[in-house]
Amino acid sequence: MDPRSDDNVVEIGPGLGALTRPLLERVSRLTVLEIDRDLAARISAEFSPDQLSLHIVDALGFDFATLGGDLRIIGNLPYNISSPLLFHLSRYEANLRDLTVMLQREVVQRMVAAPATSAYGRLTVMLQVRFHIERLFTVPSGAFRPSPKVESAVARLAPLGEGRPRIVDEGLFAEVVAAAFGQRRKTLRNALRHWATPADLEGSGIEPGARGETLAVGDFVRLANALA
């Protein structure tokens, strides 16, 4: 992450401060979001308000726009809500410089997956249309106490900015992507029958008998824009 003194850094779920302490050696002030009141009390007792801006909130419902712009978000995200939290954070792409997060390894594999692979799906498309995503390294289960049954990985997401594809109707795009992957074995002719006719699909250069997992991110953008 290489944070600098004046970076606008936000840590999600500081817990007992394993990341918080080294971050505060690098940045002049840190914002942290903690849902657990007992953990929040411990961390607020250790650091002064001049160093630490503490929000006792659920990150899933937090308005990150209130923290300003050029946000650098870091955290070991709760694995049980990782996908909903990533969808929530993606809403604030205009406020973000980057996200550096640890997740279950399989989730990171889905984030960076290519079309026509088993890991490619709704999460892949909805994130790759907004972010450049790097898988940085894996973290074995033995790095944790107690040792979990899953391995982890660290990923960096950076908003595409001006390189982001133009989407005419964000809601429609999300609906089309969700429907295409709702039942993976369905052809697009059937999966998208409420949104597009076979002629609509062919008009966008998409074979009606194809499955959603075979479409690239740009294909979904082109189809949704045509339908809009």
Number of neighbours of residue 39 by Cβ within 10 angstroms:
16
CATH code of 128's domain:
3.40.50.150
Q: Residue 2 falls within a domain, yes or no?
A: no
What is the domain count for the chain?
2
Find the farthest-apart pair of alpha carbons in the chain and give their distance in angstroms, rounded: 64
User: Does residue 148 carry a pLDDT above 90?
Assistant: no
- What does the pLDDT look like over 36-94, one tens digit per residue? 999 999 999 999 999 999 999 999 999 999 999 999 999 998 888 999 999 999 999 99
Say if CB 68 and CB 5 are below 8 A apart: no
CATH code of 200's domain:
1.10.8.100
What's the DSSP call for residue 98? E
Domain region containing 83: 8-162
Are both 217 and 112 inside the same structural domain? no
Q: What is the pTM of this model?
A: 0.92
Domain stops at, among 162, 188, 204: 162
pLDDT at 144: 86
- What does the pLDDT look like over 106-138, one tens digit per residue? 999 999 999 999 999 999 999 999 999 999 999
Enclosing H/E stretch for 219: helix 217-227
Are both 29 and 140 inside the same structural domain? yes
Strand partners, 135: 155
Expressed in angstroms, the distance from the first to the final Cα of the chain is: 39
Are both 37 and 116 inside the same structural domain? yes
CA 32/CA 156 separation, integer angstroms = 19
